[in-house]
Structure 1
Amino acid sequence: MRELTTAETVREEGSWLFTVRDRYGELDEVILVPCEDSGEHGSTSGRPATDGGVEAWINRCTHEAQRFDTGRGVPMRDGQIICPKHGSMFDSCSGYCDNGEAADTTLPSVEISVRDDGRVVLTDDEFTFVGEGGIDDNEGDDGPASTSHIGF
């Protein structure tokens, strides 16, 4: 288990992005989003919302692997995650999409829990925490991206 952030931070900022390594050693991004399961959108996947009002999803649309959070936060409206490329909307509590290009798909989930004190903890055995932020933020500094050694 790895402490990530607090549920209060996720609600105040609207989302929280972090990087994980899967069991095959591949990096992936995960978003934490507020989930206020009011019943309007329901938990259509049959997966109950976590206690504490936060859910975790892999940071990409099921249609074309478009990242939701590109470093500026997850676009959301009325409890739904919006794909910035095609506008498909995913329920933040269930991960289910009932419209657009990604209709009838569900976002891959990442197991978390919210402690009584509001701390969000990564509990998914399939992933190891790498760091806060996106993959590009966590790859380390390997020098310049260009092969040119010319400086200005």
Structure 2
Amino acid sequence: MHQLTTVQTVYEAGSWLFTVRDQYGELEEVVLVPCEDTVEHDSTSSRPGSDDGVEAWINRCTHESQRFDTGDGAPIRNGQLICPRHGSLFDSCSGDCDNGEAAGTTLPSVNISVTHDTIYLTDDDVTFAHEGGIDEDEGPDSTSHISF
């Protein structure tokens, strides 16, 4: 279990991005988003944290792998995560999409738990790598003066 951030921080910022390493060693971005679903979930819920005001989703649309949060926060309106490429809307609490190119799909989730406003990563299939997104610019710096 790894301490991530607070529910208050997610609500104030609108979302919170972090990176995990999956069971194969690959990096994956995860976005925490506010979930204002007031429906009580039973003990068989597969979504730990879903009744605590925050959800954790893999940071990409199910259609064409477009990132939601590119480092400036995830676009959310009226409780829906918005794909910036085609405008598909995903319910921030369930991850379900019922419109656009991604209709009929559900975002892959990451298990979290909330204790006293603090959010913890509790998913056994991933390990915390770092706060923020995957650094797209990793690798050696080019010293060449040639441009394309």
Segments of structure 1 that go 5 or more residues without pairing to the other structure are none
- How far is 1:5 from its partner? 0.2
Question: Where do 5+ consecutive residues of structure 2 fail to align?
Answer: none
TM-superposed CA distance for 1:149, in Å, is 7.2
Aligned-residue identity in percent: 69
User: After the TM superposition, which residues 74-93 of structure 1 pair with which residues of structure 2 at under 5 Å, given as runs?
Assistant: 74-93=74-93
Structure 1 runs of 4+ aligned residues shifted over 4 Å read 46-49
The alpha-carbon distance between structure 1 residues 149 and 138, as it changes in their structure 2 partners (threshold 3 A), is closer
Cα offsets for 1:28-80 (capped at 9, x unmatched): 000000000046xxx9xx75562320000000000010000000100000000
Q: Which residue matches 2:131?
A: 132
Shift in alpha-carbon separation, 1:130–1:137, aligned structure 2, 3 A: farther
In structure 2, the partner of 1:6 is 6
Identify the residue that residue 62 of structure 1 maps to in structure 2: 62
- Give 1:120 shift: 0.2
Between the aligned partners of 1:147 and 1:112, the Cα distance in structure 2 is: 42
**Contact 1:51 1:113 (8 Å CA) reproduced:** no
The offset of 1:148, in angstroms, is: 1.8
Aligned length: 142
- Give the alignment of 1:98-113 within 5 angstroms: 98-113=98-113
Counterpart Cα distance in 2 of 1:134 and 1:92: 19
Partner of 1:24 in structure 2? 24
Instruction: Letter of the 2:118 partner, please give it.
Output: R
Letter in 2 for 1:25: G
Read off the aligned partner of 1:97 and give its amino acid letter.
C
Given residue 134 of structure 2, which amino acid in structure 1 is its aligned partner?
A: I
